[in-house]
Amino acid sequence: PAASLLYPYGLDQADHKNPKLDDGTSEKISLTVPFTFYGKKHQNLYVNNNGVISFDSRVKQYTPDPLPLADGRSFVAPYWGDVDNVRGGDIFYRETTDPALLARITKNINQYFPKIPYTAKWAFVATWDHVAYYGSTTNKGNTFQATLTTDTETSFIILNYWDIQWTTGTASGGDPETGLGGTPAHAGFNSGDETNFYNIPSSQTEAIINITKTSNVNVPGRWVFQVDNFKVTGVPTEVPKVANSNNCFL
Q: What is the pLDDT of residues 134-176, one digit of tens each?
A: 999 999 999 999 999 999 999 999 999 999 999 999 999 999 9
Q: How far is CA 102 from the centre of its chain?
A: 19
- Whether residue 240 is contained in a domain is answered as no
What's the confidence (pLDDT) of residue 70? Answer: 81
- Whether residue 233 is contained in a domain is answered as no
Structural domain for 44, as ranges = 11-226
Summarize pLDDT for 71-120 with one digit per residue, the tens.
Answer: 889 999 999 999 999 999 999 999 999 999 999 999 999 999 999 999 99
- Whether residue 61 is contained in a domain is answered as yes
Angle at 47 between CA 139 and CA 94, to 5 degrees: 95
Which residues, in sequence order, are CB contacts of 192 under 8 Å at separation 6+? 38, 40, 55, 69, 72, 73, 74, 75
- Whether residue 84 is contained in a domain is answered as yes
Q: How many CB atoms are located within 10 Å of the residue 115 CB?
A: 5
Q: What does DSSP say about strands 40-48 and 142-150: parallel, antiparallel, or unpaired?
A: unpaired
Number of domains in the chain: 1
- Spatial strand order in the sheet of 52-55: 29-37, 40-48, 52-55, 74-80, 186-190, 197-199
Q: How far apart, in Å, do the first and last CA atoms of the chain sit?
A: 27
- Whether residue 239 is contained in a domain is answered as no
- Whether residue 3 is contained in a domain is answered as no
Q: What does DSSP say about strands 122-131 and 222-226: parallel, antiparallel, or unpaired?
A: unpaired
Residue 49 has pLDDT above 70, yes or no: yes
Residue 60 has pLDDT above 80, yes or no: yes
- Whether residue 73 is contained in a domain is answered as yes
pTM over 0.85: yes
Summarize pLDDT for 213-239 with one digit per residue, the tens.
Answer: 999 999 999 999 999 987 766 555 454
- Whether residue 2 is contained in a domain is answered as no
Half-sphere exposure of 202 (CA within 13 A, CB side): 20
